[in-house]
Amino acid sequence: DAKTTQPPSMDCAEGRAANLPCNHSTISGNEYVYWYRQIHSQGPQYIIHGLKNNETNEMASLIITEDRKSSTLILPHATLRDTAVYYCIVRAYGQNFVFGPGTRLSVLP
């Protein structure tokens, strides 16, 4: 079973920031938080991952709470092409990636 809880769906207006929450209250100290997304009929696409510190790359920012029990993926300026299912996964070295149902993000014009 997935170790994360995400809302099943969210809407975001085009050009606004999309903030996708993830709860991982049972995360262990050596588990990383990963985010992937899957656009319809394509393979999952890696977005970002982190352990304790906030991370930013060209796609998104990852904000992890100090107690590491939750995190937020931020897409700073959502576009229609960001419409996808977003998966939050916690995983330590040697463990498999376990995907839950994710959050279906709809970016609206």
Residues that bind another protein (CB under 8 A): 2, 30, 32, 34, 36, 41-46, 49, 85, 87, 92-93, 96-102
Measured from the CB atom, the residue of 10 and 14 that comes closer to another protein is 10
Measured from the CB atom, the residue of 7 and 15 that comes closer to another protein is 7
Rounded alpha-carbon distances, angstroms, from residue 57 to 2, 60, 61, 90: 25, 6, 6, 19
Q: How far is the CB of 93 from another protein (least distance, A)?
A: 4
CA atoms within 13 A on the CB side of 40: 6
